[in-house]
Chain A
Amino acid sequence: MNFFTSIGKYSLFIYRVFSKPEKWSIYYRRTIYEVDKLGLNSVGIVVIISVFMGAVITLQTAYNTSSPFLPTYIIGLAARDSIILEFSSTIVALILSGKVGSNIASEIGTMRITEQIDALEIMGVNSAGFLVLPKIVATVFFFPVLTILSIFVGIFGGWLVGEFTGAITTMDYIKGIQWGFVPFYVTYSLAKTVVFAFIITSVSAFHGYHVKGGSLEVGRASTKAVVVSSILVLLFNLILTQLLLK
């Protein structure tokens, strides 16, 4: 019963978020601000994670395919496909659900308990739309940029570790990342990212928006937002993979 109540509340919340804005120019400015806060501020963590992720995938593939019957360029190929298909979209989304999700839930939750959301409502502003729509637009448009960045940096990290540890030569690695490239995999990865961005932002905002009580509840809402959005990311990863790669 609780589950269905939450689904209903979430649907009503999303309906309010996508109601017509009072003034487009204000929402536009807020979106630019959110791109900076939620998107550009996440570039650092995405780069660090991607470089190590690419490096580890390359090393693990290299150590597990040390057979004379397998060409070495297969290491580059496996690293490329793993990064594009799964790591740059799903793993980065999970990391961002922690960073961005908790940020959104705690920010909106704090606004709720300090009556800033009530102040918006009293002024006649649709608080859900004003606070959440710019965040959703910003992440839906900017997370794919982070995914593309992650793909490039991950592949670079793979080359770096392969070259320095001698696991694979540069020539073989480049041959591997070019061999049998399927462009649709990038489309698939970006499509997943768009869905994940929407889930992370809307679910976290939903939990923050409905906080009741004080600072403890804001903390709880923030944790819940991260847990629920992470689980939903994994669930939709499965659903989208079945739908898009069938």
Chain B
Amino acid sequence: MIRCINVCKSFDGREVLSNIDATFERGKTNLIIGQSGSGKTVLLKCMVGLHEVTSGDIMYSDINFSGLSNTQRSEERKKIGMIFQGGALFDFATVEENVMFPLNMFTDMSVEEKRERANFCLKRVNLENVNYLFPSQISGGMQKRVAIARAIALNPKYLFCDEPNSGLDPITAGVIDDLIMELTQEYDITTIINTHDMNSVMQIGDKVIFIYKGKKWWEGTKDDILDSDNQELNSFVFASEMAQMVKKYHKRLSGK
């Protein structure tokens, strides 16, 4: 479980996050949604320590992550897996070497064991016969799956995903979403996903937090969204015509 307690973040005096209080539960896919520039990426980066919080605390179970020294933080980070928006695969390494990288750095496994583990992770994300290709030689969807395989290589306790299906077609995006949800439940991970893809929200949103102008504006589940009267949330979620039709249809069915 991860908790944000009164998290504030400012850049050069400009407040980007204001008193964010949120709890992200274990074994669930926790989604942070919001418009571009609302502060959701900053919140995610604060949670993993890429940005220092201006005030407030980030708690990993009982550990105050934001109060740890760099060395302690490095240790704690070995329990974290992260999927970046662009994949962030290492250009200098092949697919297999990318997945083996955390194993090389932090385990004393033999080469065979590491290769076996890497192949297991690649198979888990439905990737085969790409081991010796470089990231530039595979598609965007494959890169995302390699990033997931790398993120789960060390059996993380926490999985952070920054817009994991941006730039992907709806089918591939759905595959990535399903994969993240399956892994979350299978390994009982605390997963936090940053997204503005409404399909993802409705597909895997066990818990949804809506950030608006740097503040936590709304919190609930994917089912609560359809019944919510929150104006800002509605104008964000149901911005497209198709989404408005879904809402109308839902209202008609539920008789509200």
Binding site for B on A (CB under 8 A): 22-23, 26, 110-111, 114-116, 118-119, 121-126
User: Knowing A23-B104, A121-B50 touch, does A116 contact B77 (C-beta < 8 A)?
Assistant: no
User: Is there a chain A Cβ closer than 8 Å to B78's Cβ?
Assistant: yes
Q: Is B8 an interface residue (CB 8 A)?
A: no
Complex Cα spacing A110 to B85, Å: 15
CA distance A118 to B86 in the complex (A): 12
Bound-state Cα–Cα, A118 to B84, Å: 9
State the Cβ distance, A205 to closest chain B Cβ, in Å. 15
Q: Is B137 an interface residue (CB 8 A)?
A: no
Contacts of A119 in B (CB 8 A): 82, 84, 88, 90
B 92-123 contacts with A by CB, 8 A: 101-102, 104-106
CA gap between A110 and B101 in the complex, in Å: 19
A116 touches B91 (CB 8 A): yes
- Which listed residue, B50, B86, B91, B106, touches A124 by the CB 8 Å rule? B106
A22-B106, A119-B88, A122-B50 given; name 8 further pairs at CB < 8 Å.
A26-B104, A116-B88, A116-B89, A122-B48, A123-B78, A124-B80, A124-B105, A126-B74
Given contacts A114-B88, A115-B88, A116-B91, contact A122 B106 (CB under 8 A): no
Q: Does B75 contact A (CB under 8 A)?
A: yes
Note all chain B residues with C-beta closer than 8 A to A123: 77-78, 80, 101-102, 105-106
Question: Is B84 a contact of A115 with CB atoms below 8 Å?
Answer: yes
Q: List 26 A-B contacts (CB under 8 A).
A: A23-B104, A23-B105, A110-B91, A114-B88, A115-B86, A115-B88, A116-B91, A118-B50, A118-B84, A118-B88, A119-B84, A122-B50, A122-B77, A122-B80, A122-B82, A123-B77, A123-B101, A123-B105, A123-B106, A124-B75, A124-B77, A124-B78, A124-B105, A124-B106, A125-B105, A126-B74
A115 to B89, CA, bound (A): 9
Distance in Å from the Cβ of B65 to the closest Cβ of chain A? 12
Q: How many contacting A-B pairs (Cβ < 8 A)? A: 53
**Closest Cβ of chain A: how far from B159's Cβ, in Å?**
11
A115 / chain B contacts, CB cutoff of 8 Å = 84-86, 88
Least CB distance from A138 to B in Å reads 14
Closest residue on chain B to residue A123 by CB atoms? B102
Residue of A nearest to B78 (CB): A124
- Cα–Cα, bound, A123→B104 (Å): 12
Q: Closest CB of chain A to B189's CB: distance in Å?
A: 15
5 tightest A-B CB contacts, nearest first: A124-B77, A119-B88, A115-B88, A124-B74, A122-B82
CA distance A115 to B135 in the complex (A): 14
Q: How far is the CA of A139 from the CA of B104 in the complex (A)?
A: 25
Residues of chain B with a CB closer than 8 A to A125's CB:
74, 105
Closest to A121 in B: B50
CB distance from A17 to the nearest CB of B (A): 14
Tell me the minimal C-beta distance from A26 to chain B in angstroms: 6
Chain B residue with minimal CB distance to A116?
B88
CB distance from A161 to the nearest CB of B (A): 42
Determine how close the nearest CB of chain A comes to the CB of B210; give it in whole angstroms: 25
Q: Among the interface residues A23, A26, A115, A119, which one has the most CB atoms of the partner chain B within 10 A?
A: A119
Q: How far is the CB of B82 from chain A (nearest CB, A)?
A: 5
Provide the bound-state CA to CA distance between A123 and B83, in Å: 11
Smallest CB–CB gap between B16 and chain A, Å?
16
Task: Please report the C-alpha to C-alpha distance between residue A111 and residue B90 in the assembled complex, in whole angstroms.
Answer: 8
Q: How far is the CB of B218 from chain A (nearest CB, A)?
A: 28
| B residues near A111, Cβ cutoff 8 Å | 91
**Inter-chain contact B105/A22, CB cutoff 8 Å:** yes
Q: Please name all residues of chain A whose beta carbon is closer than 8 Å to the beta carbon of B84 when the two chains form the complex.
A: 115, 118-119
When C-beta atoms are compared, the residue in chain A nearest to B90 turns out to be A116
Residues on the B chain within 8 Å of A114, using CB? 86, 88
